[in-house]
């Protein structure tokens, strides 16, 4: 521990450059992902502009103690490292003859693309501008860099941003003004004189806005930028992104200060972004985009149309964009064609990087006057489909092991593959109104919305929305998150919209250039027709097509790689996955996804359909047992038929059926209008209905007359349900279909309660066996969802043949948080950090987990081979599934569409546990 502290305080700045770096890729926690990878690239011989990384610990210190403390602590180290950079770059910071310019970028432990701030071209002032002109011989380039620097610094460090979401950026406004004065359309047409004018006007705007002159001193610029990057760790969008991706606030960001290289030093310079494999489909092809004579931000900003890196990619792009070969070759040639030598190097480096990191890389590069530099590499964000394909391809290529392939898959991301696709028939009839790039695959239908806040508001009303933007920026993240799909008028395959959408697994069409968007009036025009906010459109993210109206969707067919992945999961898993299903359709879907049985059938769901609710109400209204039995006799055939359907769909596999659970008031209407309807239907007075409703009213229904308390007060209900289950199984047996019913008693708190129900079930079953002169095997078990049941699980196991943890109720009762009322305060608890996660979503290992662990242990003390599973919502959540594995459960049970996710999570839990044991043994 002592060593850790001294390590913490001794070194705060890590150099990288030439062929030697202080850090390496294993130091992500300290250097951030970007810093660690820059160091690693230097160490393996990739050309990286020299620089240094200020550690994440300094950010934490900054957040706690502020700017002055940080400067005091790291000033000397920063100065020493900057000298090293100067030496390596052969240029000097603030030098009027041979100035060194810097970039200052964020870089957290986990990638948070675009969420934090960056300052480029740092070090420029009146003196260094002159020096750089002499050095580069390109006056226009230098003034352009200077105006970009003031603009960026003004925005990031001095906080000069648009006044509202509909307003233009203050610097853009000045620029637009000048352009219209001069009658120029494109930034490219600004002359050196114009750029000088811009610098003067920008500086004036800074003075007016901040009351101070724009800083001339390069050191003041550097410290300002470093602090701004630290600050950006806490900006709204970064905080939101962290919440979305479960990144702790305490991590902090590192700051990377690096010598600038320029892709905008003329036509022998370029800049771009590349992926070692296709991030949308996972195809094993090198893809990317670049721009000649441009800076990095130009490629992602969507202002100019980026060109493809490879010839093959360029041809594909031209076809998708309806561009002829002549036009492509003349206006949009690939890097492979324009700069074959740099291309060849880039191709070799990307191979080397993918090989080294054994994963798909997303890299940024710049070519300055013919010389290639790699600015960044990281594991590329990808769609769910690409994630599966890349992992399986790499495994088949023997680049990674089977276990690694499984561990590479983010279980929740598999969800994307299980989403609906467009119905081919509906699609053939749909009207195409525009076409853009297939930036992120999938099908999406929804109502048009133009702003993130509006998207959130519409989503909150239960509407599906498509976020339509000219281009997106990190400000739009919230809107993108709630949208079904994203459509942009500008931007390529590496635009912000495309990259973020792929990361989120959202359908996205980018660069649909024929669409005209009017933010002020909230309309978009496509194909000569105006569409308003709220109108429906549909997007095909796999082809780039945009359709009018809603297009019907259907369930996906799961591809070969997906099937193989599931087989592989089977090989390593210990736990089985079952499903929670109440009807044959869901049972079949789950079975196709690999469910090994049903872990929970909630029988009450069957009582709401059609005429059954009437009979159910008749039962509830009955004043004595006789009346109840009469109604229950009518329910019996319905229930038996339902069970036959489910058992048949799940033939040869176990099916856990839970006896009636919810409070009876849920079956009677609360609204006067519906009470009147019920009175008419049942031939009684409204008063009588009202009386019964009042009688059933409970102050705390979730802790009231429900679960086994129903069966213990009205044993005839349990009798009827048992009869329906056993008779259904016998009927199927007669047809040669094997069933394994497991009858489950809910909400047990004492052994006596359980025994009482067990007796009813067993006596009824024996009676039926005698009537039929036939029998089947069945089990009687219990849910563990009342803390007392977990505490006395050794006693429960004297009766129960199996346990299933109902962690929804167990969480409710352990925390004392009502399941129904918690939405009133849980979001605030999460916001304030009083809770890290919603315990109804992620099982609380610390508290509820103790009861679960104790329940499993005590149960097995009594019955060594007691079958144990979980059927609360946590059974489909990867982190909770890992916990279930660790405490030794036999299975988890979840909703049908989560079965594949749970299968993978169960396999990962088994692999991780083994790996942890091996490491421990080695130690």
Cβ neighbours of residue 770 closer than 8 Å, sequence gap 6 or more: none
Nearest to 114 by CA among 366, 302, 349, 265: 302
Q: Which does 896 bind (CB under 5 to 8 A by kind): ligand PEP, Mg ion, none?
A: none
807 sits near ligand PEP (criterion: CB under 6 A): yes
> Whole-number minimum distance, CB 602 to ligand PEP, in Å?
5
Helix (H, G, I), strand (E, B) or coil at 411: helix
The token duo for 496 is 């912000």
Q: Which of 708, 871, 884, 894 is catalytic?
A: 871
809 sits near ligand PEP (criterion: CB under 6 A): yes
Phi/psi for 104 (5° steps) reads -125, 115
871 among known catalytic residues: yes
User: Under rule CB under 5 A, which residues in 762-801 are in contact with Mg ion?
Assistant: 785
Task: Yes or no: say if 134 and 57 are a contact pair by the CB < 8 Å rule.
Answer: no
The token duo for 357 is 């990191």
List strand residue ranges (DSSP E) for 174-298, in order.
253-259, 270-275, 287-292
> Judged by CB under 5 A, how many residues of this single chain contact Mg ion?
3
Helix (H, G, I), strand (E, B) or coil at 817: coil
Cβ neighbours of residue 569 closer than 8 Å, sequence gap 6 or more: 406, 903, 904, 906, 907
Nearest to 436 by CA among 508, 492, 510: 510
Q: Which of 50, 123, 170, 806 binds Mg ion (CB under 5 A)?
A: 806
Residue with tokens 């509407």: 463
Task: Yes or no: say if 885 and 822 are a contact pair by the CB < 8 Å rule.
Answer: no
Helix (H, G, I), strand (E, B) or coil at 99: strand
Task: Yes or no: say if 844 and 853 are a contact pair by the CB < 8 Å rule.
Answer: no
> Whole-number minimum distance, CB 755 to ligand PEP, in Å?
21
The residue (of 416 and 753) whose beta carbon lies closer to ligand PEP is 753
Nearest to 337 by CA among 315, 320, 365: 315
> Whole-number minimum distance, CB 674 to ligand PEP, in Å?
24
Which range of residues in 309-317, 634-642, 724-732, 805-813 is near ligand PEP by CB under 6 A? Answer: 805-813
The residue (of 131 and 707) whose beta carbon lies closer to ligand PEP is 707
872 sits near ligand PEP (criterion: CB under 6 A): yes
Q: Which does 296 bind (CB under 5 to 8 A by kind): ligand PEP, Mg ion, none?
A: none
Distance from first CA to last CA of the chain, Å, rounded?
18
871 sits near ligand PEP (criterion: CB under 6 A): yes
Convert residues 655-684 into a mask of x (bound to ligand PEP by CB under 6 A) and - (unbound).
------x-----------------------
> Whole-number minimum distance, CB 894 to ligand PEP, in Å?
10
> Whole-number minimum distance, CB 173 to ligand PEP, in Å?
56
Q: Which does 807 bind (CB under 5 to 8 A by kind): ligand PEP, Mg ion, none?
A: ligand PEP
The residue (of 215 and 787) whose beta carbon lies closer to ligand PEP is 787
Phi/psi for 188 (5° steps) reads -60, -25
808 sits near ligand PEP (criterion: CB under 6 A): yes
Phi/psi for 743 (5° steps) reads -90, 125
- Facing residues of 438 across strands? 509
Helix (H) or strand (E) holding 497: helix 496-504
Which range of residues in 117-125, 317-325, 542-550, 803-811 is near ligand PEP by CB under 6 A? Answer: 803-811
Q: Which does 872 bind (CB under 5 to 8 A by kind): ligand PEP, Mg ion, none?
A: ligand PEP
The residue (of 753 and 785) whose beta carbon lies closer to ligand PEP is 785
806 sits near ligand PEP (criterion: CB under 6 A): yes
Task: Yes or no: say if 271 and 379 are a contact pair by the CB < 8 Å rule.
Answer: no
545 sits near Mg ion (criterion: CB under 5 A): no
The residue (of 740 and 805) whose beta carbon lies closer to ligand PEP is 805
> Whole-number minimum distance, CB 678 to ligand PEP, in Å?
25
Q: In what order do the strands lie in the sheet with 118-122?
A: 20-21, 13-17, 51-54, 253-259, 102-108, 118-122
| C-beta atoms surrounding 253 within 10 Å | 31
User: Under rule CB under 6 A, which residues in 778-797 are in contact with ligand PEP?
Assistant: 785
Q: Which of 588, 602, 651, 767 binds ligand PEP (CB under 6 A)?
A: 602
The residue (of 300 and 600) whose beta carbon lies closer to ligand PEP is 600
Helix (H, G, I), strand (E, B) or coil at 119: strand
98 sits near ligand PEP (criterion: CB under 6 A): no
355 among known catalytic residues: no
Residue 493 CA to residue 300 CA, distance in Å, equals 9
Q: Which of 496, 576, 665, 874 is catalytic?
A: 496
The residue (of 350 and 721) whose beta carbon lies closer to Mg ion is 721
809 sits near Mg ion (criterion: CB under 5 A): yes
User: Which residues are marked as active site?
Assistant: 496, 871
**Contact residues for Mg ion (CB under 5 A)?**
785, 806, 809
**Contact residues for ligand PEP (CB under 6 A)?**
600, 602, 661, 785, 806-809, 871-872
């Amino acid at each position: 521990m002592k060593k850790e502290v001294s390590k913490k305080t001794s070194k705060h700045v890590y150099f990288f450059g030439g062929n030697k770096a202080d850090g390496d890729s294993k130091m992500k926690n300290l250097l951030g992902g970007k810093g660690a990878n820059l160091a690693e690239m230097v160490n393996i011989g990739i050309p990286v502009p020299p620089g240094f990384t200020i550690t994440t610990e300094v950010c934490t210190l900054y957040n706690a103690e502020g700017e002055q403390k940080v400067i005091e602590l790291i000033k000397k180290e920063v100065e020493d490292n900057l000298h090293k950079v100067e030496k390596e770059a052969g240029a000097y910071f603030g030098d009027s003859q041979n100035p060194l310019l810097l970039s200052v970028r964020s870089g957290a432990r986990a990638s948070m693309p675009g969420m934090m701030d960056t300052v480029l071209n740092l070090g420029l002032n009146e003196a260094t501008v002159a020096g750089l002109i002499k050095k580069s011989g390109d006056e226009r380039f230098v003034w352009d860099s200077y105006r970009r620097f003031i603009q960026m610094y003004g925005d990031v460090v001095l906080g000069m941003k648009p006044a509202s979401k509909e307003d233009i950026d203050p610097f853009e406004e000045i620029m637009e003004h000048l352009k219209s004065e001069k009658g120029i359309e494109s930034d490219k047409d600004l002359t050196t004189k114009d750029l000088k004018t811009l610098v003067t006007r920008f500086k004036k705007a800074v003075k007016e806005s901040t009351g101070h002159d724009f800083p001339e001193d390069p050191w003041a610029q550097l410290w300002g930028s470093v602090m701004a990057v630290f600050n950006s760790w806490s900006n709204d969008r970064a905080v939101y992104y962290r919440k979305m991706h479960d990144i702790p606030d305490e991590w902090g960001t590192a700051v990377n200060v690096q010598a600038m290289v320029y892709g905008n030093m003329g036509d022998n310079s370029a800049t771009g972004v590349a992926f070692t494999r296709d991030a949308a489909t996972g195809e094993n092809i090198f893809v990317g985009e670049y721009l000649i004579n441009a800076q990095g931000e130009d490629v992602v900003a969507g202002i100019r149309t980026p060109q493809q890196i490879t010839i093959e990619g360029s041809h594909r792009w031209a076809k998708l964009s309806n561009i002829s070969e002549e036009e492509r070759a003349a206006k949009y040639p690939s890097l492979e064609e324009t700069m074959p030598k740099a291309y060849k190097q880039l191709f070799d480096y990307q191979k080397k990087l993918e090989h080294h990191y054994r994963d798909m890389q997303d890299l940024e590069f710049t070519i300055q006057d013919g010389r290639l530099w790699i600015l960044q590499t990281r594991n590329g964000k990808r769609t769910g489909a690409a994630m599966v394909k890349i992992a399986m391809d790499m495994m088949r290529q023997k680049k990674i092991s089977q276990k690694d392939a499984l561990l590479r898959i983010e279980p929740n991301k598999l969800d994307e593959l299980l989403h609906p696709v467009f119905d081919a028939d509906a699609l053939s009839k749909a009207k195409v109104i525009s076409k853009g790039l297939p930036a992120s695959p999938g099908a999406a239908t929804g109502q048009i919305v133009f702003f993130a806040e509006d998207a959130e508001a519409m989503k909150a009303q239960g509407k599906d929305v498509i976020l339509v933007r000219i281009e997106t920026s990190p400000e739009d993240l919230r809107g993108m998150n709630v949208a079904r799909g994203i459509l942009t008028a500008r931007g390529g395959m590496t635009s912000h919209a495309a990259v973020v959408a792929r990361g989120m697994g959202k359908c996205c069409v980018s660069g649909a250039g024929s669409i005209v968007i009017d933010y002020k009036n909230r309309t978009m025009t496509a194909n000569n027709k105006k569409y308003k906010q709220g109108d429906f459109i549909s997007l095909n993210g796999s082809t780039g097509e945009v359709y009018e109206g809603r297009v019907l969707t259907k369930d996906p067919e799961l591809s070969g790689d997906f099937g193989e992945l599931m087989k592989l999961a089977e090989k390593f898993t210990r736990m089985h996955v079952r499903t929670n299903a109440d009807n044959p359709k869901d049972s079949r879907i789950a079975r196709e996804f690999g469910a090994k049985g049903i872990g929970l059938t909630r029988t009450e769901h069957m009582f709401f359909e059609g005429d059954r609710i009437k009979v159910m109400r008749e039962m509830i209204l009955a004043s004595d047992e006789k009346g109840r039995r009469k109604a229950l006799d009518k329910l019996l055939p319905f229930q038996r038929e339902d069970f036959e359907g489910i058992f048949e769909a799940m033939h040869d596999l176990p099916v856990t059926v839970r006896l009636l659970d919810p409070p009876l008031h849920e079956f009677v209407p609360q609204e006067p209008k519906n009470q009147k309807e019920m009175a008419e239907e049942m031939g009684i007075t409204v008063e009588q209905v009202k009386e019964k409703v009042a009688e059933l009213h409970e102050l705390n229904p979730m802790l009231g007359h429900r679960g086994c308390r129903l069966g213990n007060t009205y044993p005839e209900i349990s009798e009827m349900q048992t009869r329906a289950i056993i008779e259904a199984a016998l009927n199927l047996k007669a047809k040669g279909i094997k069933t394994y019913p497991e009858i489950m008693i809910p909400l047990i708190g004492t052994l006596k309660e359980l025994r009482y129900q067990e007796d009813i079930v067993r006596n009824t079953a024996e009676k039926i066996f005698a009537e039929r002169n036939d029998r089947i095997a069945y089990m009687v078990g219990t849910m563990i969802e009342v803390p007392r049941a977990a505490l006395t699980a050794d006693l429960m196991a004297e009766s129960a043949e199996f346990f299933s943890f109902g962690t929804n109720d167990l969480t409710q009762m352990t925390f004392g948080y009502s399941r129904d009322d918690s939405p009133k305060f849980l979001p605030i608890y999460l916001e304030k950090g009083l809770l890290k996660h919603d315990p109804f979503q992620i099982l609380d290992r610390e508290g509820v987990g103790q009861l679960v662990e104790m329940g499993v242990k005590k149960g097995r003390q009594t019955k060594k081979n007691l079958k144990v599973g979980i059927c609360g919502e946590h059974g489909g959540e990867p982190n909770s599934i890992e916990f279930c594995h660790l405490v030794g459960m036999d299975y988890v049970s979840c909703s049908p569409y989560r079965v594949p996710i749970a299968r993978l999570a169960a396999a990962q839990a088994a692999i991780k546990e083994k790996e942890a044991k091996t490491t421990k043994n080695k130690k």
